[in-house]
Structure 1
Amino acid sequence: MSSNFSEAAILRRIDHVGAKVEQVDQGLIAVSAQVGQVGQRADETQTELRRLAADFQRFVLDAQRTANVQRAETRVGVVEAQIEHQFGHHNVVRRTATGMLQGFDVGLVSEETVRAVSEQLMVQNPRYWLAPVLVALGAWAADEPELCERAVQEGFRRSPGRTSLFMALVLRRQGRREASVRWLRHYLAAQDPTALGRDFAMILECVSQGAFGPAGVDLVRERLDAWRARLLDDDARQDAQVTRWRAELDRYIAGSSGQRFPFLAGVSPQWPQMDRALSCAAANGALIDTYRALAAETPTPAAQLEDQVDDILDRLVREYDEEELPLRREHAQARAIIRHNGDINAAQRDLATDLTALERTLDYLTIQSESALNPAAIGVSRSTQRMAVSSCHEWFARAHGMFSRDYRAALPTDVHAVFQGNHNAAGVVFQLPRWTGSFTRPVPDLERDLAAHWDRAAAPFIASLGWDWRRQGVGPLIGIVAAALVVMFCLGQGSPLLGVLAGAMIGGGGALFLWSRQRAGAKRQQEAREVLERGKYDSIRQLRAAGAELVDWNTAFRAADGREPEVRAMIADLATIGSPASPYERRVAENGATR
């Protein structure tokens, strides 16, 4: 009885062990699945972390730019307040100057009023060049030549260039042609073409408007031609102007076309060069639109000489004094930061050209270029800009030739597609080896080559996930057989039947364990096979789309680059748009103040 009880107990234990083996097998299968899920979640977590890191970096950059804009706005307010505090009283003198001249025209201002106002402004502005010049105008109106001469000399002492130019314009406005030309000749003789003040831009303004009459225009053009010939002998100065125009062309470069060609941008290491080349080529269209519009304009001259000269005088007296330039430069820097939404680097690139116009002195060639490229900053009109562009067309042509040469030379000789990277397959990371294909080959050939590359790389990886009987099964199989034999031998001593049953149970459980291992391996292989098949399909899809986008990119580039000859022809035509306006030779306003 005890023997049967012990046999029954042993059988129950064997059944219990078999159940445990089955549970362990199911647990291993579940653990394998969970490992795969954990691996998938780990990849998802890494992706999410990268996205969060990118979002955080964008947030930090946006915060920095917002802070930059706020600081710049504050600085603009502070600088404008400083300009108003230190130089705001100059605006009163400037407005008075024009008002005084217009009052002379209509005879509505008494000599006493003119004298009182000018003397008061002289007292309030002890260093400003225009204040004694207004005293001279008042003395001139009152027919007091001695006071007029002393006032003019004081204005000349404070600013020889502006005082001479102002007097030349006023005399021209009042019909004193010979006196106007004498002052103009005096002004030009005192100028150094390598270090001209910002006020010299008004000479170009006068020439473009024909404000000095035939004799004045001939005098100016003769002097400017001599200066130009002298400065053009200096290759370094010529190269500086070509460089300035070359920098201007960079402003016309279009933005990135990465969103237009996302697959090509994603798979080709040559994309940055291609993107830059297309953006540069697109500048041709923008240049044509801008400069054809400039060439097509027909400036409308003022109805009267007085109005034309008043406009030039306004520009002259509004011109920044040298003392203002440091604050004006600081103001321009802050405004550039605001204009570029806090992007310091973009603001600096922009300022590299804008600040040139705020230098204390410039050579004549640079004034020409700045009048053509930055007329608002240097204080000239659209008509003067047209004339300056005409004078600078050779530098424009050289700069554009360099620009076109550079972006064409940067084009890659061959465009490749590259695929590599990690893929989570059944909880195990699969690393696709680098594959490179040239688009000089037909896309179908590249697709077959890429698919074969995937298959070659995936085959050993998938095989490594299965159950290898020779490597993984021999040891456990020997162990199971040995255990079964030991149990059969031990139990067979008392009951052969019991020994056979126990051995069979152990063998069956071991077989079940090995089978479950093989089944789990096969499942992992199938999961990996599906994941990698999707990865292969996605890579081929990207390759096919990149090939199609390359065709579209070539079409877009040829169209943009094909406008380069149009730009060259347009630049050649610009040489003819700069003729100055017809000189005014009508009678000017006559009244009691004209002398």
Structure 2
Amino acid sequence: MGERVIRTADLRNMESYLNNLGNSVNIVAGQIENVGADLNNTKNTLDQLINEFHQFVRSDQLQKNVQLAETRLVKVRQELETEYGHYGDVRRRVNGILQAVDTSLIKKETIENASEDQMLAAPRYWLAPCLIALSAWINDNKELAEKAMNEAIRRDNEKTALFFALVTRRGARYKASRKWLENYFGLQDPHQLEREIVVLIDGFTNGIFGPDARIKCGKKVESWIEELSQKVGFVEEQREQWKVALESKSKKVDEELYPYLREFGKNWGEIEQSLEGVKLHKIIADYFQDVFAKEVTPVKSIAVAVDALLDTLVSRFDDEELPLRRDERLLSLVIQENGDQERAEKLFEEEKVIENQISFTQLLTNFSIHPEVSNASIATQKFSISLSKDWIKSAHEDLTAENRANVPIDINLSIDQWEGVTQDGTNEEELIVSINNHVEKRRNAALSKVKLGVQHWAGLIGGILFTLTGFGVPFLFILAGFCYLYFYLGRRNLRSRKAHISSEFDQLSKYCTENLRASIAEVVDYRRDYKENDANAQLVTEFLDGISPEQYTFSSFDSARSVQ
């Protein structure tokens, strides 16, 4: 009786131990599953952190580039002021003398003395002897005027000629003005024009130089283009030049557009490039229409008009300042592009505005596309675009053809290890079946890996053996129970793990299907967006066909007025 009680108690304790063991096995199995899930979460989090880190580094670098550019820009401008600030005194004195003569409020002796001081302060500057010559001319000192003009010509023949062409035109000395203009024209090579030609073209288009000079300027422009056209490959060169100029107006696609194609489109780079290219049509059309919509209001007097050109000539085109002016422009572009050094350098190279010498056709391109940097007026901008319209049309047609040829036919999608192809989204159902089959294969592959281990089958076999031999040795039944229990718990845990894996793949299937549908919807939007924007190519052609250079050469100060 006592042995029976002890055995019963022992068996109850044994049963408790087995239950605890089973619970422990379940806990361990759950922890293993949690560890696996944690590893996946950790990997995803790590990938996200890596992307955020790269974005942070990029953002930080851009901010530092902006700060550095701002600091350097201040330094460059300070250097310009330090090195060439005294030139500004000479420049201001020129306009001061001209306006003083208009009002007759200052003695001629005062003008003469002030001019001589400036000659001493700027020993290398071409404008200083021009100032002396101007002063001597006012004081009727012909000998000094000629000496000063010869010195100015020695220092810079072209700027001096253009300067006195403007000054004599201001004083209604038409014969002298034509003579100086002829001198200036004789120094020009249309393949390598000096930068101050801007002033001449601006004066011509705004009707500054009088009727005779206006006709002469027009004929000279025609002869320059004719001479340049004789060069082999000229047309091809203009097309390439204008392609670069037009492309400089392109804008990046809004980062909030097409988020699914950005993430899941394997050839998103091609899609983005095609969008930037096709949206360029409307940008160019709007740009040209905006230029020609602006009204050109001529100033009231020739004196004011010439003074404005003189100010541009004497303050914008000194070769000594050119390196610093280049630095100033590049740094300004870095700030404009929010620290994107590569983009700023590309824009700087495309502009080709701040150069020592430049061809006439490149000059027209600069006037048309970069007027704020090339110092071109609205009248000059209109004239340049109308004069270049055939080259612009050819370049635009090339860009249009290239963009259409580079539009991706197939949109390659990649979503969580699945890859598929669509052209216009019409095979949506087919792709959904494909991605679901892909997920199902992955599910089956994952489930096939979840199976009982060798130790579990060994437990089952051990249980059977212990059962068969337990009739001779009853204690072996207890061991058989342990073995069966171990096998049972293993199978129960197996079902739990498979259920968990299946649930995860259900979520994955939903995730993949939703993102695929969203991506296909964006493919449809992309195709429609491209088609609508591509139709805008005709706007550029139609607009350019409706303009001609003759419409935009003004004669504000002539006896007759041109069409405006």
TM over 0.5: yes
Distance in 1 (CA, whole Å) between partners of 2:423 and 2:23 is 50
Residue aligning to 1:97: 94
Q: Are residue 572 (structure 1) and residue 555 (structure 2) matched?
A: no
> What secondary structure, in the 3-state scheme, does the structure 2 residue paired with 1:252 have?
coil
Q: Following TM superposition, by how much is the alpha carbon of 1:253 offset from its aligned partner in structure 2, in angstroms?
A: 2.4
> What secondary structure, in the 3-state scheme, does the structure 2 residue paired with 1:357 have?
coil
Residue aligning to 1:84: 81
Q: Is the 8 A contact 2:245 2:365 kept in 1?
A: no
Q: Is the 8 A contact 1:213 1:584 kept in 2?
A: yes
For residues 78-99 of structure 1, what are the alpha-carbon distances to aligned partners after superposition, in whole Å with 9 as ceiling and x for unaligned? 2111111111111111111112
For residues 434-486 of structure 1, what are the alpha-carbon distances to aligned partners after superposition, in whole Å with 9 as ceiling and x for unaligned? 44243565312322232223223322422432448xx7754322211223344
For residues 267-309 of structure 1, what are the alpha-carbon distances to aligned partners after superposition, in whole Å with 9 as ceiling and x for unaligned? 3223221222122211222222211011122201111122211
One-letter identity of the residue aligned with 1:191: Q
Q: Are residue 549 (structure 1) and residue 546 (structure 2) matched?
A: no
One-letter identity of the residue aligned with 2:249: Y
For residues 362-411 of structure 1, what are the alpha-carbon distances to aligned partners after superposition, in whole Å with 9 as ceiling and x for unaligned? 12222222122222322221211111111122222122112212221111
Distance in 2 (CA, whole Å) between partners of 1:403 and 1:167 is 44
Question: Cα–Cα, structure 1 residues 209 and 92, in superposed 2: closer, same or farther, change >3 Å?
Answer: same
Deviates more, 1:471-480 or 1:265-274: 471-480
Matches within 5 A, 1:430-509: 434-439=418-423, 441-467=426-452, 474-490=457-473, 499=474, 502-509=475-482
Q: Is the 8 A contact 1:419 1:435 kept in 2?
A: yes
Q: Is the 8 A contact 1:258 1:275 kept in 2?
A: no
> What secondary structure, in the 3-state scheme, does the structure 1 residue paired with 2:196 have?
helix
Distance in 2 (CA, whole Å) between partners of 1:437 and 1:479 is 54
Q: Match for 2:241 among 241, 244, 259?
A: 244
Q: Is the 8 A contact 2:466 2:477 kept in 1?
A: no
> What secondary structure, in the 3-state scheme, does the structure 2 residue paired with 1:416 have?
strand
For residues 2-44 of structure 1, what are the alpha-carbon distances to aligned partners after superposition, in whole Å with 9 as ceiling and x for unaligned? xx64x76666555544433332222121111111111112222
Q: Following TM superposition, by how much is the alpha carbon of 1:353 offset from its aligned partner in structure 2, in angstroms?
A: 2.4
Q: Are residue 269 (structure 1) and residue 254 (structure 2) matched?
A: no
Residue aligning to 1:396: 392
One-letter identity of the residue aligned with 2:313: L
Distance in 2 (CA, whole Å) between partners of 1:266 and 1:56 is 18
For residues 302-351 of structure 1, what are the alpha-carbon distances to aligned partners after superposition, in whole Å with 9 as ceiling and x for unaligned? 11122211211111111231111011111222222222222211211221
One-letter identity of the residue aligned with 1:557: Y
Matches within 5 A, 1:343-354: 343-354=340-351
Q: Are residue 40 (structure 1) and residue 24 (structure 2) matched?
A: no
Distance in 2 (CA, whole Å) between partners of 1:71 and 1:435 is 44
Residue aligning to 1:286: 283
Deviates more, 1:572-581 or 1:134-143: 572-581
One-letter identity of the residue aligned with 1:453: H
Q: Following TM superposition, by how much is the alpha carbon of 1:59 offset from its aligned partner in structure 2, in angstroms?
A: 2.6
Residue aligning to 2:154: 157
Question: Cα–Cα, structure 1 residues 258 and 34, in superposed 2: closer, same or farther, change >3 Å?
Answer: same
> What secondary structure, in the 3-state scheme, does the structure 2 residue paired with 1:79 have?
helix
Q: Match for 1:310 among 307, 312, 318?
A: 307
Residue aligning to 1:521: 494
Residue aligning to 1:327: 324
Q: Is the 8 A contact 1:252 1:283 kept in 2?
A: yes
Q: Following TM superposition, by how much is the alpha carbon of 1:580 offset from its aligned partner in structure 2, in angstroms?
A: 0.9
Q: Is the 8 A contact 2:457 2:487 kept in 1?
A: no
Q: Is the 8 A contact 1:435 1:453 kept in 2?
A: no
Distance in 1 (CA, whole Å) between partners of 2:550 and 2:539 is 17
Q: Is the 8 A contact 2:452 2:490 kept in 1?
A: yes
Q: Are residue 357 (structure 1) and residue 353 (structure 2) matched?
A: yes
Q: Following TM superposition, by how much is the alpha carbon of 1:546 offset from its aligned partner in structure 2, in angstroms?
A: 1.7
Residue aligning to 1:27: 24
> What secondary structure, in the 3-state scheme, does the structure 2 residue paired with 1:584 have?
coil
Residue aligning to 1:510: 483
Question: Cα–Cα, structure 1 residues 380 and 268, in superposed 2: closer, same or farther, change >3 Å?
Answer: closer
Matches within 5 A, 1:151-230: 151-230=148-227
- The alignment's TM-score, normalised by the length of structure 1, stands at 0.88
Residue aligning to 1:560: 533
> What secondary structure, in the 3-state scheme, does the structure 2 residue paired with 1:341 have?
coil
Q: Are residue 376 (structure 1) and residue 349 (structure 2) matched?
A: no
Q: Which has the higher contact order (CA 8 A, sep 6+)?
A: 1
> What secondary structure, in the 3-state scheme, does the structure 2 residue paired with 1:127 have?
coil
Distance in 2 (CA, whole Å) between partners of 1:61 and 1:541 is 31
Distance in 1 (CA, whole Å) between partners of 2:540 and 2:464 is 88
Q: Is the 8 A contact 1:466 1:524 kept in 2?
A: no
Residue aligning to 1:493: none
Question: Cα–Cα, structure 1 residues 192 and 251, in superposed 2: closer, same or farther, change >3 Å?
Answer: closer
Deviates more, 1:266-275 or 1:120-129: 266-275
Residue aligning to 1:410: 406
- The alignment's TM-score, normalised by the length of structure 2, stands at 0.93
Distance in 2 (CA, whole Å) between partners of 1:320 and 1:30 is 83
Distance in 2 (CA, whole Å) between partners of 1:488 and 1:252 is 94
Q: Is the 8 A contact 1:206 1:312 kept in 2?
A: yes
Residue aligning to 2:71: 74
Distance in 1 (CA, whole Å) between partners of 2:327 and 2:161 is 30
Q: Following TM superposition, by how much is the alpha carbon of 1:536 offset from its aligned partner in structure 2, in angstroms?
A: 0.7
Residue aligning to 1:297: 294
Stretches of structure 1 that go unaligned for 5 or more consecutive residues are 422-433, 491-498, 587-595
Q: Is the 8 A contact 1:21 1:509 kept in 2?
A: yes
One-letter identity of the residue aligned with 2:50: A
Deviates more, 1:16-25 or 1:300-309: 16-25
Q: Is the 8 A contact 2:162 2:184 kept in 1?
A: yes
* Segments of 4+ moved more than 6 angstroms: none
Q: Following TM superposition, by how much is the alpha carbon of 1:258 offset from its aligned partner in structure 2, in angstroms?
A: 5.1
Residue aligning to 2:562: none
Distance in 1 (CA, whole Å) between partners of 2:67 and 2:449 is 60
Q: Is the 8 A contact 1:66 1:341 kept in 2?
A: yes
One-letter identity of the residue aligned with 1:164: A
Q: Is the 8 A contact 1:450 1:540 kept in 2?
A: yes
One-letter identity of the residue aligned with 1:372: S
For residues 223-247 of structure 1, what are the alpha-carbon distances to aligned partners after superposition, in whole Å with 9 as ceiling and x for unaligned? 2211211112224555444333222
Q: Is the 8 A contact 1:295 1:574 kept in 2?
A: no
Question: Cα–Cα, structure 1 residues 59 and 258, in superposed 2: closer, same or farther, change >3 Å?
Answer: closer
Distance in 1 (CA, whole Å) between partners of 2:358 and 2:87 is 24
Question: Cα–Cα, structure 1 residues 285 and 141, in superposed 2: closer, same or farther, change >3 Å?
Answer: same
> What secondary structure, in the 3-state scheme, does the structure 1 residue paired with 2:39 have?
helix
> What secondary structure, in the 3-state scheme, does the structure 1 residue paired with 2:416 have?
strand
Residue aligning to 1:428: none
In the alignment of these two chains, the number of paired residues is 559
Point out the structure with max Rg over C-alpha: 1
Stretches of structure 2 that go unaligned for 5 or more consecutive residues are 560-564
> What secondary structure, in the 3-state scheme, does the structure 1 residue paired with 2:546 have?
helix
Q: Is the 8 A contact 1:72 1:337 kept in 2?
A: yes
